[in-house]
Chains A and B, each alone.
Chain A
């Protein structure tokens, strides 16, 4: 790995909002190198030796935490995990106290997932350590957006000029918001598609196209990013049933084959097979879902490496 000469313009990665185009390119270039490393027999580099990272998750997560943890281990960082149920967040110890208690044990970086939008922004006003936002409410999930854009870049060579449709529950999705911001910064065109009740009323102010007809969205796009229907995030019912949702917005092989071009299918996982996407689509050659997972580790390695490099 070459000497680190460039750094990110932001001390934290709280959202795609914090990054400029150059930052994103730098993350991608760094991730390219790490992806090579991950495909070697010895997958570990000493870059973050003696750096201690706490993964603080106030909301359930398996794969994001696993991906971060693997990225940290591949970089030779020391890691600790802290998990608290989201229901206990508003009671007892404050967020700042919780994190300061962890930092007092000489932790250098924090990776945090939190049920409330802006929790990372709030925390950054109170602590000195670098913070990586692993999802805050329906606000941002920057590493997911980066790995999604990285995967599109890998498939097509460039993100600029590509048409990406984000399909599903836009209202409750931090993945959607971060994806919109990231893809636009890289010059892609973005469309959101989903049931009328799951599209925020003012989403047009973000400069995206809006479509409620799945077939039209698919015909328009180069890439379809199928979001997971997260019933656990819906406090009230926004559509009658999963059955009806999949009738209207489920992507199956028949629809995919009816298109006059070959589009790429993405999904941030975990997949609800048979709801937003059928098995034959998820497992088809048009799907890059497992590439996304692989790229997730490289992207997170890049982000952690670049942020840690700022303090040395």
Chain B
């Protein structure tokens, strides 16, 4: 790997003595070899002027779909990793929305073996239930031993309260973590978008915020009853924020994340039936967005995720009703967080520190001698997401061909670097 000298980069790391201060950082052979207010270039280094730019531990995504095995025309472990790196991520936990589902040691090992030593570390999430059918527990412990970092049935909510309760209790036995994707499918009914003013105007059945809140409430009860940890994936409703805030106040071991697009997009955008805005949970109202931002600021919401869900055009460019849910999101998380008004230090906290802490993974250090695992980003640089810059196999995002603010400059991990 090249020798790199980052000059006057603002460090974002709560454990670093340079936190929020500008410093020079020298990287040699994949390690941070010098850090200080003025580091001399060894001569063979690529020198990058990083004034106004920020250095954070590499971003970490708790919710991305690489769809391998099974749906390699949407994405793959390789293309997904490349897209992740382009978005500033050095670690990605991937959803078991695969065919077969990641539900045993062999799928976990397959993913780890296929991605070992790459610029982006890929961490499999294992299914809670066999075939994600919500009936019987999958082999959680064996997957845990093989390297699954947490458990979720992906985009399928666990409807059976008894199963969810057993999953929480069983995983607790080996300090495993269960994710809850909160949606009551009976309340959601045939809804394809948020229930509200826009669904009424479009004559579409809506998914009430209640469908999410009722499940969040249930799973908080289940976590409390079993004295287990629980992590809520992609909450979208103001009511969910309030429930989780109260649960945290009560001292329960609850954490949660929100998808970046839910911080900037609302249901109003669905007026033209553009399926690029069709996501699950659905885009909600301005009030919900406000509550989510407040939750991020006061610590109720711990993490922001990409919920990267790439789809081929054939699954998106169809009638809204039958279009697949999801946004190709890894490369737009940073611009969306900046658009939502997050400060650079909040970005490092919600994208780099907290996700790893929740999974019990070490947060990469930014000290001399440490393995270099970081991202440098410029919060003011503009760029366009288009067919030249897109690294995913898919383009299902409302931000395609749009000017975005907030650009990833350098990503470094496992002795590899993206400039």
Contacts and interface: CB of A to CB of B under 8 A. Distances in A.
A140 interface: yes
B320 A116 contact: yes
A235 interface: yes
B196 A116 contact: no
A5 B295 CA distance: 58
Contact of A121 (B197, B208, B272): B272
Contact of B202 (A115, A118, A236): A118
Contacts of A94: 314, 318
Contacts of A137: 203-204, 321
Contact of A117 (B189, B202, B272, B318): B202
A83 interface: no
Nearest to A201: B195
B193 to A, nearest CB: 10
Nearest to A176: B203
A202 B273 contact: no
Interface in B289-326: 314, 318-322
A139 B200 contact: no
A174 interface: yes
Given A201-B195, A202-B195, A235-B190, A118 B200 contact: no
B273 A138 contact: no
A122 B319 contact: yes
B11 to A, nearest CB: 47
B239 to A, nearest CB: 15
B273 to A, nearest CB: 3
A206 B196 CA distance: 11
Interface of A: 90, 94-95, 114-119, 121-122, 136-140, 171, 174, 177, 200-203, 205-206, 235-236
Contacts of A118: 202, 204, 273, 319-321
B287 to A, nearest CB: 13
Contacts of A171: 205
CB-CB nearest 10 A-B residue pairs: A118-B273, A139-B203, A116-B321, A205-B197, A138-B203, A202-B200, A116-B319, A121-B273, A118-B320, A177-B203
B199 interface: yes
Given A117-B273, A118-B273, A203 B200 contact: yes
B202 to A, nearest CB: 6
Contacts of B319: 95, 114, 116, 118-119, 122
Given A117-B203, A174-B203, A202 B318 contact: no
B201 A205 contact: yes
A198 to B, nearest CB: 12
Contacts of A138: 203-205
Contact of B197 (A140, A202, A235): A202
Contacts of B318: 94-95, 122
Contacts of A117: 202-204, 273, 320-321
A9 to B, nearest CB: 17
B199 A202 contact: yes
Contacts of B196: 202, 205
Nearest to B199: A202
B169 to A, nearest CB: 34
Interface string B200-222: 11111110100000000000000
B199 A116 contact: no
Nearest to B273: A118
Contacts of B206: 200-202
B204 to A, nearest CB: 5
B322 A90 contact: yes
Most interface-central of A115, A140, A205 (chain B CB within 10 A): A205
Contact of A139 (B190, B195, B204): B204
A122 B323 CA distance: 11
A139 B206 CA distance: 13
Nearest to B319: A116
B328 to A, nearest CB: 20
Contacts of B204: 117-118, 137-139
28 contacts: A90-B322, A94-B314, A114-B319, A115-B321, A116-B319, A116-B320, A116-B321, A116-B322, A117-B203, A117-B204, A117-B321, A118-B273, A118-B320, A119-B321, A121-B273, A122-B319, A138-B203, A138-B204, A138-B205, A139-B202, A139-B204, A177-B203, A201-B195, A202-B197, A202-B206, A203-B200, A235-B190, A236-B189
Contacts of B195: 201-202
Contacts of A203: 200
Nearest to A235: B190
Contacts of B201: 177, 205-206
Select the residue from A95, A119, A202, A206 with max chain B CB neighbours within 10 A: A202
B200 A200 contact: yes
Nearest to B320: A118
Nearest to B192: A117
Contacts of B189: 235-236
Contacts of B200: 200, 202-203, 205-206
Given A94-B318, A139-B202, 11 more contacts: A116-B321, A117-B203, A117-B273, A118-B320, A121-B272, A137-B204, A171-B205, A200-B199, A200-B206, A202-B197, A202-B199
A114 B322 CA distance: 13
Contacts of A177: 201, 203
B360 to A, nearest CB: 42
Nearest to A14: B273
Contacts of A205: 196-197, 200-201
A51 B197 CA distance: 40
A203 B320 CA distance: 22
B324 to A, nearest CB: 12
A94 B317 CA distance: 10
